Amino acid sequence: MTATAPEMLVGASLNFLRKFSPFNGMEDDALAFLAERLHLAYHIKGAEVLTPAMGQPPHFHIIQRGKVQARQSGPTAVTEYAMLALGPGECFPIGAISAQRPSTNSYVALEDSFVYQLSAEDFITLMKMSPVFQLFCTRYIASLLNQSRQQLQATFSQRAAEQQTMTTPLSQLLKHELVLVSPETSIRTALEKMAEIKIGSMVIADEDMRPAGILTQSDLLPRIVLPGIDLSRPVSEVMTPSPHSLYATATAYDAMLEMATHGVRHLMVLDAKGRVKGVVSERDLFSLQRISLRQIRANIDNATDAETLRNASRDIRQLALNLIAQGIGAEQLTQFISALNDALTRRIIRLELERHELHDLKYAWLAFGSEGRHEQTLSTDQDNGLIFVCPDKDAREPLRQRLITFAKSVNDSLAICGFPLCKGNIMASNPELCLTLEEWQSRFGKWITVPDPQALLNASIFFDYRVLCGDESLGDKLRIWLNKTAKRNSAFLKLMAMNALEVQPPLGRLRDFVLEDDGTIDLKKSGARLFVDVARILALRAEVSSSSTAQRLRQAGAKMGVQPDELSAIVDGFHFIQMLRLRSQHLETEHDAEGDNRVKPDELNELDRRILKEAFRQARKLQLRLKLDYQL
């Protein structure tokens, strides 16, 4: 049977659409509806395809061949980009046609181009027909990111098959029927039940099934046997009260992060109403990973020297690489890396505190930069400092010298563990960064009141701090003081904004990206930094206490009235760039080369190129907001 001309055109449209997201994932009936209603239009080079003056867009456009330039119209419009080239498979204007308003951009053919048209009425119908298409239009970058993660998992399918995914909900890991006792139950009865059922832990819950505590096998010797506790006493006297818990919808990764952060081996699993459903142990997570989390954490906690901790550091890196292969998100990955690196650093600090006899010291060890933001990747050096308390001014300098000697030992041990010494000497062993609270306030105050270029550079490093070990109240007091002082100085914030706008997203007007001579983009300097710098300014303006870029954007954006979908797209863009950095460092590691932040867009698959371009659009959108706020 010979196909008719209309049938051939529909078939050609279907073949084209199936090459691009979101059409390649749409439902069959919705895709057929789209292909049957598309009309192919031809636009010569320089022709206007759509402008704000044309009013409400009559068509949704999908580029079939050629290139169309999207250009921001008007001096104050905040759009996703100022000027950008769109290629085959890309669509416009999603926002305008969804909201049934004129476009805020002009679209002009950069070269002779063929563009599919779908009527606005059919576009609305398609949105109702297809959940996939609706998600694409409402959560554009998020839907692309999900597809990218699926592609990544497919790339590492062999490794993923060898180890069950860490995205498994905790509810699926509960293999045994819940056994529990009340707080009033005798210790003997609780132990007899544990022995009878052959379980390693006993849940203690109240009458409403809310967890009161937990008793594990490791508790028996120190809490019951050695003290010779009367076994008729209630189990509440020897249990661990207020056990760590997560909801059943949390993932195995979430459980692993919680265990790594708090150094525990069991977690209560709760239902939506807070009632205990069961217990997940480290043993339950062993089958999900090649390297034992328990082993890493135990090695850290029991280490007595830097050599042992160096091996733990290698294991942290390998476990992180395994998680990359499973498609875990960038935010969770960097938090996981930071949590275990934190534990390792705290162990080094505590060992050195003992060796330098600084037991009674009131201090706070500060992490700066990416470590301070919980955003460590696989390739990172040291950025740290110290706050200490010394009311006696005469004793301040001798104490500072003792602290510097102690900090030098910590810095050297961290270097042994794979965290290189900072070339810029941003380390606690630097006398300029070993200060009392009042001295830190004075230092920050000078940068804010006399913001020369060096002061702005310092602010971009040191304002991203958090307390990693010691007295957290010292860091809290400094943060409260810093936020109030910076917010009062609008001139300083404006100069920070000007500094943040010096680096532009590497988006081309004719080509997709502006590349360096070697064909790469530095994803740290020309990618992540774009989001980090703006987030810092917004956090200071809104007096947000978090040092995390994503949390700063979410919290400050909410206070400023930014729409949730817009915030999600911006944060997703940041996390995709972070994921590309991690993946790049992962590949370099597999080839025994030094970790790198560079990526060659020409070597990315089509989907990742598209998401990277969208991520840079979100960075430009964020910068435009800053530019308008400060009239720059």
pLDDT along the chain (632 residues), means of 10: 57 90 90 93 94 92 93 49 75 82 87 94 91 79 64 50 61 84 94 88 92 91 90 94 92 84 89 92 69 72 87 81 71 81 93 87 92 82 93 91 96 92 93 96 93 87 93 95 92 92 87 88 93 94 91 93 85 89 67 64 81 89 90 86
DSSP per position, 74-88:
SSS---S-SEEEE-T
Say if CB 299 and CB 315 are below 8 A apart: yes
Which three-class secondary structure state does DSSP give residue 452? coil
φ and ψ of 276, to 5 deg: -70, 135
The edge-to-edge listing of strands for the beta sheet with 276-281 is 245-247, 266-270, 276-281
| Three-point CA angle 186, 191, 196, nearest 5° | 130
Q: Rg (Cα) of the chain, in Å, rounded?
A: 28
Q: Tokens standing for 268?
A: 């209560």
Q: Where in the chain is the domain with CATH 2.60.120.10?
A: 5-138
Say if CB 362 and CB 353 are below 8 A apart: no
| Residue 507 DSSP symbol | B
SS (HEC) of 192-211 = HHHHHHCCCEEEEECCCCCE
* CA separation for the pair 99, 239 (Å, rounded): 58
Residues 267-282: tens digit of each pLDDT: 999 998 999 999 998 8
* CA separation for the pair 573, 527 (Å, rounded): 10
Write down the pLDDT at residue 288.
61
Each residue of 553-570: b (16+ CB within 10 Å) or e? Answer: bbbbbeeeebeeebbbbb
Residue in 485, 468, 467 with CA at minimum distance from that of residue 476: 467
Residue in 22, 237, 2, 244 with CA at minimum distance from that of residue 148: 22
Residues 113-128: tens digit of each pLDDT: 999 999 999 998 998 8
Share of the chain above pLDDT 90, in %: 47
Say if CB 230 and CB 204 are below 8 A apart: no
Query: 495 Cβ partners below 8 Å, 6+ apart?
Result: 451, 456
Beta bridge partners of 522: 598
Write down the pLDDT at residue 140.
67
Write down the pLDDT at residue 332.
78
Residue 146, sorted as left (phi over 0), alpha (psi -120 to 50) or beta, turns out to be alpha
What is the assigned CATH class of domain 5-138? Answer: mainly beta
Q: Tokens standing for 517?
A: 């001579």
Query: 547 Cβ partners below 8 Å, 6+ apart?
Result: 372, 373, 374, 464, 465, 466
Residue in 222, 281, 225 with CA at minimum distance from that of residue 256: 281
* CA separation for the pair 110, 183 (Å, rounded): 74
- Specify the fold of 170-288: CBS-domain (3.10.580)
Write down the pLDDT at residue 146.
64
Give how far the C-alpha of residue 424 lies from the chain's centroid of Cα atoms, to the nearest Å. 26
Q: Where in the chain is the domain with CATH 3.10.580.10?
A: 170-288
Q: What is the pTM of this model?
A: 0.63
10 Å Cβ neighbour count for 377? Answer: 24
